[in-house]
Amino acid sequence: MIVDSLDQSGNYQSLLPGLREAFRWLSTDASTAASGRHQVAEGVTAIVDCYSTAPASEKKWEAHRCHVDLQVVLSGSELVGWSPASELTTRIPYNPEKDAEFFEPPIGAITRFRLSPGLFAIFFPGDGHQPGVMEEQSGEVRKVVFKLRI
């Protein structure tokens, strides 16, 4: 997992195929993009969504095997949980069509951080993550999640 400021995105653009295109789309098209799926480049899809944050007990833990997630909050803020997927217990087995496996909430310690405008998070295969968690109270979030096929 990587969490950093969008000001530092240039340091990561050569890390993975598609990151350069995702960050470019973010700076040129994200602010006016309608909710839904947008094909950004070969192997790069942007999913723009608006939702209300919720208590951690209502949010799912997930991980992917064939995609890297680049997550960017455009407005609002949320807490995001992270734990190695290898330390989580499967709730819903891996579905290759959706490239997702869902997990029981972790029993032990987890890492939780605030994702707000100006920051980004990258989740690699094996990174269990729980987005959309509310802070003190529920709030509205507009967010783009880039799916980068690896």
Task: Tell the CATH topology of 2-149.
Answer: Jelly Rolls (2.60.120)
Give 11-22 pLDDT, tens digit per residue: 999 999 999 999
For 28-85, how does the pLDDT look when each residue is reduced to its tens digit (9 = 90+)? 999 999 999 999 999 999 999 999 999 999 999 999 999 999 999 999 999 999 999 9
pLDDT digits (tens, 9 = 90+) for 86-103: 999 999 999 999 999 999
User: Rounded to whole angstroms, how far apart are CA atoms 19 and 101?
Assistant: 23
Sign of CA pseudo-dihedral 94, 98, 104, 109? positive
CA distance 84 to 20: 26
> What are the sequence ranges of the domains in the chain?
2-149
Q: For the chain, where are the alpha helices, taking DSSP H only?
A: 19-28
